[in-house]
């Protein structure tokens, strides 16, 4: 499984390549060559979505409900 740290590192490398006009990225010994800048942008968008999902606070599984009839 890819960790959040790995994803952040790859996103940094991909952004650096994207903004410098280079279509190949090497991160952690793995090289990827993109066919176009549109492919790079799509990869960045997917990374951003995956990172956002890992960084979000999970919803609670259980909660406590308390009801009252208003009688005090």
Tokens of 10: 């790859």
pLDDT tens digits along 41-71? 999 999 999 999 888 877 667 777 788 887 7
pLDDT tens digits along 20-42? 999 999 998 999 999 999 999 99
Pairing of strands 30-33, 24-27: antiparallel
User: Hey, CA dihedral for 3, 37, 25, 22, is it positive or negative?
Assistant: negative
């Amino acid at each position: 499984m890819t960790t959040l740290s790995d994803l952040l590192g790859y996103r940094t490398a991909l952004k650096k390549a994207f903004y410098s006009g280079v279509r190949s990225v090497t991160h952690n010994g793995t090289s990827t060559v993109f066919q176009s800048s549109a492919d790079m942008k799509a990869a960045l968008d997917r990374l951003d979505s995956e990172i956002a999902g890992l960084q979000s606070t999970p919803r609670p599984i259980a909660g406590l409900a308390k009801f009252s009839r208003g009688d005090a």
